[in-house]
Each structure stands twice: as C-alpha cells, then as structure tokens.
Structure 1
C-alpha cells in the first residue's frame, strides 16, 4: 500500500487527507480571487478537480470550508511565534509576514476578507476580530518585555506601538499586492522596529531560515 511520507498515514486515509487538502487550497484560491460571497462550492469543486458531491463528503457548507482554511493557516503561523519573548516575539511576527509573500494567494485572501469581514454577519467576522485582539495582545506583551529589558527607545505606550506594527503589516501587504517589485515588507517592518528598538537585528529575514528563528520557552 502507498504511504503518506509526511503524516505516516496509509491507504484510503492518506488519499482522503490529500483530497481534503486539495479542497482547502482550491477554496483559498477562489476566496482570494472573488471573495467569499461570490464563490460557490461548485467553483471550489471544479478547481479542486472533484465533483460537488465529493466535496460535500469533506465540507458540508461554504462557511465550514472557509473556517477550516482560516484555522489551518492560523495554526501554521502560531507554530512560528509560540514560546517566544521580547525581541524574539517581534522577530517571529516579522518572519511570518515575510514568509507570506511566498503565497500571494494567501495575502490576497486575507486582504480581501479583512475588508469584507468587518460586516458582523460575515462568517469570518469573529475569526478576524479575535485574531486582531490576540495578535495585538501578543505584541503588547512583547513590547512590554523589551521595555522591561531596557531595550526600547520610545516613550510611546506598548499598545500604540503594537497597533502601529499591525497597521504597517496590513498596509504593506496591500501595497505588495499592487507593486511587489518595489514593496519590501521585511525591510520596512524591520526599519520600524529598529526605530524604536536600536538593538533589533538589521539582517533581512530572507537570509534567515525559518528553523533559525530563535525561540525562548516561557
């Protein structure tokens, strides 16, 4: 029997997992191109190369599929920033922002959904609201730790610094979608961090493998 070398799964289970992942990728691409409301499950099934009935075996609704797409990516990003403190926390968030440029569809999806999902009836509204709240809390904690270590060269409160960092990340991603050649997300974010934390590394994230991002257990 053929095996899935990534998960160790075998036979029908491996095939089912592969099809499910293909549906998620197709969903991400469709949502990114035309938005949630303009996308149909038939569109996603066609892109995934399966029947509408086959898609229904994995996801009962478009809302369920969108939720899974968002949750999966959030889990992947969380792995990169978990168990970090201070400078390492800020560096990890910067790395996530830079790595996202390797998946343009993902940035396009989040940029589109974050605008659409401001409507409370949007199925992704709570996801994005909680994501912003949690990431802001994470950044506030990181700036507080940098301040406590005597590394912060700013009189602004940590909440303001965190909100500025979040605004820069979102704004730069939109600029990058319009002009990728002249928008260096890593350089601009790193410049902002160095303006308030002189000790922040000047090396670019492009030259630092993900596995090399320092982590500190909390």
Structure 2
C-alpha cells in the first residue's frame, strides 16, 4: 500500500510539472500552434509519457485553466456582497505577480473569440459565471444599502469585469505602471456608498 501512495505522489508531482510546461508553451505559442511534443520536450519527457498523464491537448488546456481558476475560487469561496467585491480586487492585486498566467489567459481568450476554437465554451461559461456572480454581489450590496442610488447591478458587473480584462491586456502590452488592484478598487468604489 505504501508503494502505491509513493507512486501516486510521483504521478501527481509529474502532472504538476506537465502543467508548468504547458503554461510556458501555451503562453509562448498559443493553443493552436502549440503541440504535445513541444510540451513533452519542455518538461523533459516523451510524448507517449505525456499522453499517459493527459490524453489530449484539449484535456491539458482544461487542466491548465482549472489550475488558474482555483486561485480565484479559493479567494472568493464563501464571500458575498461587499466581501465578494473585495475578493475581486484581491485577485487583481495577485494577478500582478502572475505575468505568465495572464499572458496565457489573454492569448487564449483572443484565440477563443473564434467560434470554432476548442476553448470557446470555457470562456463563454467563465464570463457568464464571473459576470453573474459579480452582478449578484452588487445586487446584494443594493439590498444592504451599500450601492449608490440608480446603479444597475448588471451594468456594474459588466463594466467591472470588462475593466479588469482590459487592464490586464494594457499591463501586458507595456503599461506596467498600472496597479491593477487599485484600478479595480477605484472602479468598483464608484458604485458603492460605503468604502470598499
């Protein structure tokens, strides 16, 4: 039994190494141009060895996205109303230290604007979830009296998500003076009647 646990540990570690390599290759090449053999070379293993852990490029991409999203889920878990909005600001602050992850995400989001792209469904679901949860947080703030009079929670959610997505792209393309967390905080604050 102990041997099996040791093998599982090694396999889990290897899967993490593969995800690290996939981040690098997808960031550098984009999803369409990246190959499983390129990822295998990056991690220092054979392509059949890579396929043992991840059966396809799409499966590997999904695992990369799941890993990226887990950080945000950890921050937002159990938060509601204004605390949820504070969590969004915290995510923007933490993204500052994750340039390679943002580059991958932004490149693939652009590729996925093509309706035939394999990641299209992921981005559609992700935006629907993020906008929906942000709208719910603004609506909860309205019920608590934290939202300014006349603010539409749906529009506030759309502009907040759009702003953070756009700020990431600007930051990646040379506007490194942008403090993404502070920009997100300032934007969301304009809708609130209490301090964020």
Scaled by the length of structure 1, the TM-score of the pair is 0.84
Contact 1:193 1:200 in 2 (8 A): no
Match of 1:79 in 2: 74
| 1:57-76 Cα distance to aligned partner (Å, 9 max, x none) | 10111111101111222233
SS in 1 for 2:171: helix
User: Which residue of 1 is the match for residue 184 of structure 2?
Assistant: 189
Q: 1:180 to 1:16 in 2, by over 3 A?
A: farther
The structure richer in helix per residue is: 2
1:159 partnered with 2:165: no
- Structure 1 180/46 Cα, relative in aligned 2: closer, same or farther at 3 Å? farther
Q: 2:10 is matched with which residue: 12, 15, 18?
A: 15
Aligned match of 1:67 = 62
- 1:124 pairs, out of 96, 105, 119, with 119
State the shift of 1:28 in Å: 1.4
Cα deviation for residue 115 of structure 1 reads 1.0
Residues 157-184 of structure 1 show CA distances to partners (whole Å, capped at 9, x for unaligned) of 1110000001111000011112353111
SS in 1 for 2:96: helix
- Could you state the TM-score of these two structures normalised by the residue count of structure 2? 0.93
Q: 1:136 aligns with which of 131, 155, 167?
A: 131
Runs of 4+ aligned residues of structure 1 deviating over 3 Å after TM superposition are none
Q: Distance in 2 between matches of 1:21 and 1:154?
A: 48
Aligned to 1:32: 27
Root mean square deviation, CA, Å:
1.8
What is the rounded CA distance, in whole Å, between the counterparts of 1:181 and 1:75 in structure 2? Answer: 25
- Contact 2:81/2:141, CA 8 A, preserved across alignment: yes
Query: How many Å separate the matches in 2 of 1:154 and 1:112?
Result: 38
Partner residue, 2:163: 168
Q: Is the 8 A contact 2:151 2:191 kept in 1?
A: no
CA distance in 1, matches of 2:116, 2:181: 34
**Distance apart, 1:154 and its partner CA:** 4.6
1:42-57 equivalence runs, <5 A: 42-57=37-52
- Runs of 5+ consecutive residues of structure 2 not aligned to the other structure: none
Aligned to 2:194: 199
The aligned residue for residue 97 of structure 2 is 102
Distance of 2:44 and 2:84 partners within structure 1: 40
Whether contact under 8 Å (2:27, 2:100) holds in the other structure is yes
